[in-house]
């Protein structure tokens, strides 16, 4: 009975160690990917900035159109 408990305990410990190692590997891979993106100039960041600029321009255009409509209504 004690022998079986010890075997089970060892097995559980090994599983925990394996999970920790897998998590560490995943974290390292993510860090490497992040580093690669930074080295490449992070096109995703550039794309996001471009999208934000486009959205701002569209909002400005819409605001101008709204103002023009309001002015027309006032006249």
pLDDT in tens, 25-58: 999 999 998 887 776 666 677 788 899 999 999 9
- Terminal CA-to-CA distance of the chain, rounded, Å? 95
Distance CA 30, CA 24 (A): 10
Residue 3 near residue 10 (C-beta atoms within 8 A): no
Torsion of the alpha carbons at 53, 56, 62 and 64, rounded to the nearest 10: -100
Structural tokens at position 11: 């097995």
* CA–CA separation, 22 and 16 (whole Å): 10
pTM for the full predicted model: 0.44
């Amino acid at each position: 009975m004690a022998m079986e408990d010890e075997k089970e305990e060892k097995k559980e410990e090994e599983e925990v160690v394996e999970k920790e190692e897998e998590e560490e590997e995943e974290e390292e891979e993510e860090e490497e990917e992040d580093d690669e993106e930074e080295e490449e100039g992070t096109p995703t960041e550039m794309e996001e900035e471009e999208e934000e600029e486009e959205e701002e321009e569209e909002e400005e255009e819409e605001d101008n159109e709204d103002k023009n409509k309001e002015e027309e209504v006032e006249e």
